[in-house]
Structure 1
């Protein structure tokens, strides 16, 4: 992804919309962004890094719909509900 790709994706949203960072596909969590920095990588290319907040604010689990949209989790359906029989002693009458 390039800066242009990211700007293009973000342009679909209201500029006042909060942004959070989704991390760890195996235990998806949402984090507060802390800044943007750049450096030169091993091949001499400029790379932009989006950082987590210095306070390491974690907002908790990523909403399941976001994890599915990122293809980190398959869509899940709730278990089917079957009518259960009555429980307790039978009087036999």
Structure 2
């Protein structure tokens, strides 16, 4: 059976290349991308009895950290790269 879900092994493999002292964040809601602190790792079972691991955001004030950094939203393809509009020449007093 092929699954598109990330497994704990996949996550451990990806995290093993990261700085162990770096904080963990959740990227949430592609339509209004926000960053959240991870507070808990919980194990449960799905409807078939298979173990499922949940990363839970904190319940304390400040668990939602604000907008997701643009480069993260772009990397997740939740947002396209944004460029500043081209500058137009300034108008001078007198209409020129």
Unpaired segments of 5 or more residues in structure 1?
A: none
Report the Cα distance in structure 1 between the residues aligned to 2:56 and 2:76, rounded to whole angstroms. 19
Supply the RMSD in Å over aligned alpha carbons. 1.3
**Equivalent residues, number:** 89
Does 2:48 align with 1:43?
yes
Instruction: Quote the offset at 1:45 in angstroms.
Output: 1.0
- Of 77, 80, 84 in structure 1, the residue corresponding to residue 83 of structure 2 is 77
TM normalised by structure 1 equals 0.88
Runs of 4+ in 1 over 6 A off after TM superposition: none
Larger radius of gyration: 1
The Cα of 1:89 is off from its aligned counterpart by 3.4
Judged with a 3 Å threshold, the aligned counterparts in structure 2 of structure 1 residues 17 and 48 are, in CA distance, closer, same or farther, namely same
Distance in 2 between residues matched to 1:89 and 1:54, nearest whole Å? 59
- Which residue of 1 is the match for residue 70 of structure 2? 64
Aligned partners of 1:83, 1:43: CA distance in 2, in Å?
64
Match of residue 16 from structure 1: 21
Work out the CA distance in 2 between the residues paired with 1:29 and 1:13.
Answer: 21
